Homo-oligomer: A and B are copies of this chain.
């Protein structure tokens, strides 16, 4: 089963990469652009067909390695049923 785990910064945490990308895109002519946020995504193929078990594993991966709980949240999405 294929999962997509997206790591994003918590509200209030500075996002300099997003801010600089916004600035650069505006300089390139996208002058009405309002906001750009930078996120990290992992596509993970787990060896189970049970969506609940796959999600449980992905949450544990986020807690133990992928996300920094002080400044980051995570979202988990299932990409297929196979």
Contact = CB atoms under 8 A, between A and B. Distances in A.
Contact of A30 (B25, B40, B61): B61
A39 B66 CA distance: 13
Contact of A6 (B41, B48, B57, B61): B41
B45 A33 contact: yes
A41 B43 contact: no
Given A21-B65, A33-B46, A34-B47, 9 more contacts: A18-B42, A24-B65, A30-B46, A32-B47, A33-B45, A37-B43, A37-B44, A39-B42, A40-B40
29 contacts: A6-B41, A8-B43, A18-B42, A21-B42, A21-B65, A24-B65, A25-B61, A28-B61, A28-B64, A28-B65, A30-B46, A33-B44, A33-B45, A33-B46, A33-B47, A34-B46, A34-B47, A36-B42, A36-B44, A36-B45, A37-B42, A37-B44, A38-B40, A38-B41, A38-B42, A39-B40, A39-B41, A39-B42, A41-B41
